[in-house]
Structure 1
Amino acid sequence: MGYIRGFLEFDRKENPKRDPVERIKDWGEYVMRHSDEDMKEQSARCMDCGTPFCHTGAEWDRDMVGCPVNNLIPEWNELVYDGQWKEALDRLEETNNFPEFTGRVCPAPCEGSCTLAINDDPVTIKSIENEIIERGFDNGWVTPNPPQHRTGKRVAIIGSGPAGLAAADQLNQKGHTVIVYERDDRAGGLLMYGIPNMKLEKETVERRVHLLEEEGIEFKLNTEIGEDVTYEELKRNHDAVIVCTGAQQPRDVPAENRESQGIHFAMEYLTESTKALETDPQKTPISAKGKNVIVIGGGDTGADCVATALRQECKRVVQFGKHPASPEDRDEDNPWPLFPMTYTLEYGYKESLEAYNEDPRKYEVLTQSFQTDDEGNVTSLNTLNVEKVVENGRLVTKEIPGSEQEWEADLVLIAIGFTGPEPELLEHMGLETDERGRVWTVDGTKDYTTSEPGVFAAGDLRRGQSLVVWAIREGREVAEQCDAYLEKDSSLKSSFAV
């Protein structure tokens, strides 16, 4: 424990943030770093409690408790308070391959499970984590660390998102030769194209990818399995395969005139907007400039669409969510140490309030149909309001008669989540799926072995849409199982190859 009275004397202090009106004029990260003094005080708030829930990483009836990668949070908090940043980095890297990613984009279930959060604001765990790794890069402590020997075994990893990168890192350190296949033009998966620069600048992703390359991992970009390389070729040239392609099949809105021009899935919009930053942000194929934008879906992806539309100088942006607004405090069915389902003001909403004087969020709204012009372009959409009521002991959603409304719209972005992985690759590889379309594994919680010998699966395509930190955990765990598989039989390659 760094300072025994820290949690009594110091209040929680968030990272400073750039002015909302100014930051929507560019695409840089909006969160800034704390000073040395602030970091010392914030780390001092850690109580070093007898049973720390912050690093448990448990699932409790589909809820989360603590950090999924089991970060040794109290230990590196104390080291930060003592000014031992290098030692704090060593402890952080024992559990987390990419703290520069989680320190920026993770919703921090660790903070929701902080013991201090029972009756006070939690420790700023996420910002401390990010500061540790950034100081590691600043001071040259994060350097390539290639393995001292190679085992002669080759592993193909399909997908370079957080699960694939974590698995590649772990297996490479074991001495196996790792080749990562990515269908896009840059590695990183959703870290590269699914999360806007304002939250995670792409230089940060590329910095880590380059480090992995220097450690011996090979990335084959613009390569799609089933088209550029077949599964049979993978089996011939590798001793094992790990599939980490995520859950990218978007959930759609089954409404009249859905096929109108100007209606897009959120991930398509975010990807194209991010790619355009490499050349000219104004030349993105899907632009919100001067348009009335409707975002359907009230989650984080929808919030990213709001922030992106503001930077593209939209006329107005509105976001629909079918659920009521979250409460200011925990409900009785959401007790500590579960992740708190409470009201937060995301960065894009703050920007809209400051720049447009309007909170874009509209709650308990259901889209009914789209209207188009003679050329098939979307011009508006029709909605009605809904409410949650209890009927026969069950909570159901009911439509409110007379609440119909028409909203002007030139661009509609659908951000209501994902149904599961894209089926084409799974069919090409002959992988069995479960009732939800996810890749079937021997044990849905502890085993990553698929129906194909020598093939493993991890990340969102196995567990469903989830967090970056859960993807990293699954990448680490699947690597452990794959390593055991590779080492158990010296004649493995001949048994896997065809």
Structure 2
Amino acid sequence: MAKQVMLKFTDVARDMPEKRPPNLRRTDFDEIYAEYADRKAAEQSSRCSQCGVPYCQTHCPLHNNIPDWLRLTAEGRLEEAYEISQATNTFPEICGRICPQDRLCEGNCVIEQSGHGTVTIGSIEKYITDTAWEKGWVKPAAPREERQESVGIIGAGPGGLAAADMLRRTGVQVTIYDRYDRAGGLLTYGIPGFKLEKDVVERRNAQLVDGGVTFELNCDVGRDISFGAIRGKHDAVIIATGVYKTREIEAPGVGGFGVERAIDFLTASNRKSFGDTVEEFENGRLNAAGKKVVVIGGGDTAMDCVRTSIRQGAESVKCLYRRDRANMPGSQREVQNAEEEGVIFEWLSAPKGFVGDPVTGVMVQKMRLGAPDVTGRQAPEVIEGADYVEDADLVIMALGFEPEDLPVLWDEPDLPVNRWGTIKADYVTGATALEGVYAVGDIVRGASLVVWAIKDGRDCAEAILNDFNGVQRIAAE
């Protein structure tokens, strides 16, 4: 009788990879978690209960076959585990690092609900694919035959890269256009190295080049090439630009020196990590060193900003969020990491304005949670007479992102957008009302997760291939 290798959750405790101590990790931008050893990865995988209805898989946007690759890892069959993992996910080692597993797969793990502690799915996913890279199992696209069809992709973020990979593996000719000098989008310039080291992204970009994808970088659509010209060069076009316009607030002092956008701050920091010369960093504008930093917002971007500020040597770092800890949109794991590193959170606090130019403080109004709003969340209400000023030399606005006005920027008035400015597209195929034009990721959904962009890119690539092959899609009733 075969030895039972799974269902060990009653005997084996949950054990995350070792986390570097805060006093060390706050001094650099290296990832904070160590890699699992083979034995530890197998041990933690063996805790999986192999559910008949795997909620982890159901709550993963990509519906990754998590129980199967956990079992294969527990059995030491790592190459097979990798094959199962990459069958549904173009970038599993990236998702393993940056997905909010506590809100997705791990947060819905059955043994977590029963009080035994979730399986460490994200860390094992990362381990499997990192091992695959080390062993040489990760291969670039090598289509059996080349196809004549050509697809242009605008945006080299996760959605566009995922679509490119899928299309190239079938022999489709793919060109990616991106305004930046490096591919990856927010993976490259938005997410700090302590969550996603840049060589992890760069090796994926190199793999796509090795597989035959053409990159046109430093290419700003609407300025360096027209949207119409791209449509004319390709049989299909995928818009995967993401959303980069910072959501603003109207308050006294907005726009003053020292009140900065999160995307500018994070991009400057990431460029420095590549060794680039960044004038705004060198002159101190986007450098937190020695400053009292206040970050406004409660999402993952805000967490990236506070933790980056700590590593840059800020004198102090505070985060203002208008709701309480339980109602913040960011990962609770990230909040814990930030607190360990010295960040102070001021819950139920919102900006009313900014003092000085250059900034010297934030006018803060205290809040309480009132009746639920239309989404079911309790709406924050101002507590009259509880205002105060928080000292600040640098204020970073991390209030989320909105889409740019693409129909105007690209001189394409027929590009269909909704009242929020995101592109109207089929949520399954990505098809828009323009013939041969598709859209995926945040430019359709609004600011969302990397894993959703990957799913959209993969689904769109499949739809385009079906269109090329003359396959008719049966509409869902």
**TM-score, normalised via structure 2 length:** 0.92
Structure 2 CA distance, aligned partners of 1:256 and 1:51?
53
User: 2:450 aligned with 1:468, yes or no?
Assistant: yes
Amino acid at match of 1:24: R
- Are 1:437 and 2:421 counterparts? yes
Mapped pair 1:82 → 2:66:
no
- 2:468 and 2:200 map into 1 onto residues whose CA distance is 32
For residues 26-175 of structure 1, what are the structure 2 equivalents within 5 Å? Answer: 26-56=28-58, 66-108=59-101, 109-120=104-115, 121-175=117-171
Aligned to 1:478, which of 456, 460, 476? 460
Say whether the 8 Å CA contact 1:76–1:88 is kept in structure 2. Answer: yes
- Are residue 291 (structure 1) and residue 291 (structure 2) matched? yes
Q: Matches of 1:368 and 1:392 in 2, distance apart? A: 21
Matched, 1:380 2:361: yes
Aligned partner of 2:412: which letter?
M
Q: Answer with 340-349 or 142-151: which moved more.
A: 340-349
Residue 264 of structure 1 and its aligned partner are, at CA, apart by: 0.8
Query: Does the 8 Å CA contact 1:2/1:78 hold for their aligned counterparts?
Result: no
Match of 2:370 among 370, 383, 389: 389
- Tell whether the 8 Å contact from 2:151 to 2:236 is kept in structure 1 after alignment: yes
SS in 2 for 1:388: strand
Q: Is the 8 A contact 1:248 1:422 kept in 2?
A: no
Q: Does 1:244 align with 2:240?
A: yes
Q: Secondary structure at the match of 1:71?
A: coil
Residues of 1 paired with 2:286 and 2:52: CA distance? 52
CA-to-aligned-CA distance 1:246-281 (integer Å, 9 cap, x gap): 121211121101121011110110001110222268
CA contact (8 A) 2:295 2:320 kept: yes
Question: Structure 2 CA distance, aligned partners of 1:391 and 1:199?
Answer: 33
Q: 1:232 to 1:390 in 2, by over 3 A?
A: closer
User: 2:12 corresponds to which residue?
Assistant: 10
CA deviations over 1:325-373 (Å, ceiling 9, x no partner): 2189xxxxxxxxxx99868644232211xxxxxx41110101111111x
- What one-letter code is carried by the residue in structure 2 that aligns with 1:197? G
Counterpart in the other structure of 1:350: 340
SS of 2:264's equivalent in the other structure is helix
Q: Secondary structure at the match of 1:41?
A: helix
The 3 A distance-change label for structure 1 pair 457 and 344 is closer
Q: Distance in 2 between matches of 1:69 and 1:458?
A: 14
Residue 103 of structure 1 aligns with an amino acid whose one-letter code is G
In structure 2, C-alpha distance between the alignment counterparts of 1:4 and 1:185, rounded to whole Å: 47
Change (3 A) 1:259 1:351: same
Letter in 1 for 2:465: D
Letter in 2 for 1:307: R
Instruction: Please state whether the residue corresponding to 2:63 is helix, strand or coil.
Output: coil
Name whichever of 11-20 and 468-477 sits farther off: 11-20
Provide the rounded CA distance (Å) in 2 between the counterparts of 1:341 and 1:140.
33
> 1:227 deviation in Å?
0.7
Match of 1:257 among 247, 253, 259: 253
Give yes or no for contact 2:159–2:441 (8 Å, CA) kept in 1: yes
CA shift, 1:285, in A, is: 5.2
After TM superposition, give the deviation of residue 4 of structure 1 in Å: 4.2
> 1:431-454 deviations in whole A, cap 9, x for unaligned?
11112211012x3x3341112111
Q: In structure 2, what is the equivalent of residue 185 of structure 1?
A: 181
2:153 aligned partner, one-letter code: I
- State the Cα deviation string for residues 77-122 of structure 1 (Å, max 9, x = none): 1100110001101111110110111011001211112111212211
Report how far residue 422 of structure 1 moved: 4.7
Q: Which amino acid aligns with 1:347?
A: N
Mapped to 1, the partners of 2:184 and 2:330 lie a distance apart of 29
Change (3 A) 1:273 1:5: closer
Could you tell me which amino acid in structure 2 is paired with residue 240 of structure 1?
A
- Matched residues in 2 for 1:377 and 1:347: separation? 30
Residue 476 and residue 391 in structure 1: after superposition, are their counterparts in 2 closer, same or farther (change >3 A)? closer
Report the alpha carbon displacement of residue 2 of structure 1 after superposing the two structures with TM.
5.8
User: Mind listing any 5+ residue stretches in structure 2 that lack a counterpart?
Assistant: 472-477
Q: 1:422 to 1:119 in 2, by over 3 A?
A: farther
Kindly state the Cα deviation for residue 386 of structure 1 after the two structures are TM-superposed: 0.7
Q: What SS does the corresponding residue of 1:207 show, helix, strand or coil?
A: helix
2:432 alignment partner in structure 1: 450
Change in CA separation of 1:27 and 1:365 when aligned onto 2, cut-off 3 Å: same
Q: Report the AA paired with residue 288 of structure 2.
A: A
Quick one: distance in 1 between partners of 2:4 and 2:37?
Answer: 18
Distance 1:8 1:391 in 2: 39
CA contact (8 A) 2:261 2:397 kept: yes
- The question of 1:326 aligning with 2:326 is answered yes
Is 1:409 the counterpart of 2:404? The answer is no
1:219-257 Cα distance to aligned partner (Å, 9 max, x none): 111001111111221122111100000121211121101
Q: Cα gap change, 1:197/1:341 in structure 2, threshold over 3 Å: closer, same or farther?
A: closer
SS at match of 1:87: helix
8 Å CA contact 1:105, 1:200 repeated in 2: yes
RMSD of aligned residue pairs (Cα, Å): 2.2
Tell whether the 8 Å contact from 1:69 to 1:469 is kept in structure 2 after alignment.
yes
1:19: which partner in 2? 21
Q: CA deviation at 1:391?
A: 8.2
* TM-score (norm. length: structure 1): 0.88
Q: In the TM superposition, what is the alpha-carbon distance from 1:392 to its structure 2 partner?
A: 11
1:247–1:125: structure 2 CA closer, same or farther, 3 Å change rule?
Answer: same
How far, CA to CA, are the matches of 2:185 and 2:334 in structure 1? 27
SS in 2 for 1:397: strand
Match of 1:398 among 374, 378, 381: 381
Q: Is the 8 A contact 2:141 2:168 kept in 1?
A: no
The answer for the alignment partner of 1:204 in structure 2 is 200
Change beyond 3 A, Cα 1:341–1:117 = farther
Identity of aligned residues (%): 36
